[in-house]
Amino acid sequence: MPKSKSYKLVAEPADLPPEADQAHRFEKARTAQATALLEDYAELISDLIGTEGEARPTDIARRLGVSHATAIKSIARLKREGLATSKLYRGVFLTPAGEMLARRARARHRLVVDLLVAVGVPQEAAEVDAEGIEHHVSDETLRAFATYLGRA
């Protein structure tokens, strides 16, 4: 992950050229996309461990609909970023950081599906669309969803 200047706490000057705003939005979307894969893997690994007792690369690959080679390479990225570990022929595990990411991803995923259904989106469409939408929902937006659903 490219260092991502995390100046989220810094107030953003209101006197920037107008197109800078737009550029900043696109940049946020690109950043979100860069973490989407990590979030999906973390959530899935956590699910598999919970339901199957273990998360094997082959199962991960089948659930994601990618080749096992692709899954293994992505798992390598998770390890590189300190989110997962794995022992040869013994499955993949999440580090504390990975667990935390998985928990938040799962909670957000559920909230997004519930919000969509609450505003009238059919269940199956909500499930499908949420898989992509979830990665672009900020904490602020998530709080608004929770409030709307009466779970503030």
Site for a second copy (CB under 8 A): which residue of 68, 79, 103, 136?
A: 136
Count the Cβ atoms, other than its own, within 10 Å of residue 80: 10
User: Is the CB of 44 or the CB of 116 nearer to DNA?
Assistant: 44
Kindly state whether residue 40 participates in binding Mn ion, applying the rule CB under 5 A. Answer: yes
47 exposure class (CB count in 10 Å sphere: 0-12, 13-18, 19+): middle
Which residues contribute to the site for DNA (CB under 7 A)?
Answer: 30, 34, 36-37, 56-59, 64-70, 72-75, 77, 86, 88-89, 91
User: Is the CB of 17 or the CB of 96 nearer to a second copy?
Assistant: 17
Would you say 99 and 117 are in contact if contact means Cβ atoms under 8 Å apart?
A: no
Residue 70, contacted partner among DNA, a second copy, Mn ion, none, CB below 5-8 A by kind? DNA
Count the Cβ atoms, other than its own, within 10 Å of residue 111: 21
Place of tokens 């503030």: 152
Binding site for Mn ion (CB under 5 A): 40, 43, 109, 131
